[in-house]
Structure 1
Amino acid sequence: MESSSLTEKASYEQWERSNRLSLILIKSHISKGIRGSIPNCHKAKNFMKAIEEQFISFDKALASTLIKRLSDMRHNGSKSVHEHIMEMRDIAARLRGLEIEI
């Protein structure tokens, strides 16, 4: 970096400060439970990618759980038919929210 011009050094220092402040801001707005499951990154862009990857796997697990719950549902008389149908519709709506059509 010795051969870099003063403007390049200043730009790099400004980028480094901006990156550090962005990471601090992002981490301060994420709950500790989620933050603990995301690997530590030194760049804000990489940290955002890690968050996205974490939620993709979370969505897949949630979808799998909801599909299993919906397929295993049987009306056993413990609640009204209306309540049973509403519960099934709720699960179907949550799956549609995850972009899974039934």
Structure 2
Amino acid sequence: MFMRMSIANNIKSTLPKHDTAKEFFKTVEKRFRSADKSLAGTLMAELTTMKFDGTRGMHEHILEMSNLAAKLKALGMNVNESFLVQFILNSLPLQYGPFQIHYNTIKDKWNVNELANMLVQEETRLKQQGHHSIHLISKGASKKWKKPKKGKMAEPPKIKWANSKNRGS
């Protein structure tokens, strides 16, 4: 059978021989139905946990999430467009917080294309604005220990008292 010859050997050995193509396809369908369920679970987990990290553009990020939703639809799990919009908003980092607040306060609901256009504009605005951050490093007051000379023991630093003249010195 020609169809059997076009299948990889590791899969071919697990499939029983059939006389008709119809029987053969039914067997293949039954065998790989559980793989579809597993793939759907994996795709759904990836869609719900995906985060925008800025390594690629916003447009590519939204396209990838839309492609995952399309794959889920092909497997029989239709992702509503409003859910997809919410998944995209949830995948955004903290810099997009004001954008999310704005979206939540308006009455209109955007579709994926409108959201993509707005987010690309927001990405451009954030890049132009730049990231302003300061890394503060402080060092506490240290008491100086002097390295002892050969043959002498190290002495602790002398404490100067503010209120009395001859205390501890």
State whether structure 2 residue 66 is matched by structure 1 residue 89: yes
User: Within 2, Cα distance between the matches of 1:58 and 1:68?
Assistant: 15
Q: Which moved more, 1:86-95 or 1:74-83?
A: 74-83
* Residue matched to 2:28: 51
Select which of 35, 38, 55 maps to 1:78.
Answer: 55
What is the deviation of 1:53? 1.0
Of 40, 46, 69, the residue aligned with 2:16 is: 40
Q: How many residues align?
A: 78
Letter of the aligned partner of 1:30 in structure 2?
Answer: I
CA distance 1:42–1:91, change in 2 (3 Å):
closer
For residue 40 of structure 1, give the secondary structure of its aligned residue in structure 2. Answer: coil
Return the offset for 1:93: 0.9
Normalising by structure 2, we get a TM-score of 0.40
The normalised TM-score by structure 1 is 0.61
Q: Which amino acid aligns with 1:91?
A: L
2 CA distance for matches of 1:89 and 1:60? 19
- The corresponding residue for 1:27 is 4
- One-letter code of the match for 1:83? E
1:59 shift after superposition: 1.1
CA distance in 1 between partners of 2:69 and 2:56 (Å): 19
Q: Show structure 1 runs of 5+ residues with no match.
A: 1-23
Structure 1 residues 27 and 77: CA distance shift in structure 2, 3 A: same
Q: Which has the higher helix share?
A: 1
Deviates more, 1:67-76 or 1:46-55: 46-55
Taking only the aligned residue pairs, the percentage that are identical comes to 36
Partner of 2:97: none
Q: CA RMSD in A?
A: 2.1
Amino acid in the other structure paired with 2:78: E
Q: In 1, distance between residues paired with 2:31 and 2:56?
A: 37
Q: Distance in 2 between matches of 1:48 and 1:35?
A: 13
Q: Which has the larger radius of gyration?
A: 2
SS where residue 82 of structure 1 aligns?
Answer: helix
Q: Which runs of 5+ in 2 are unaligned?
A: 80-169
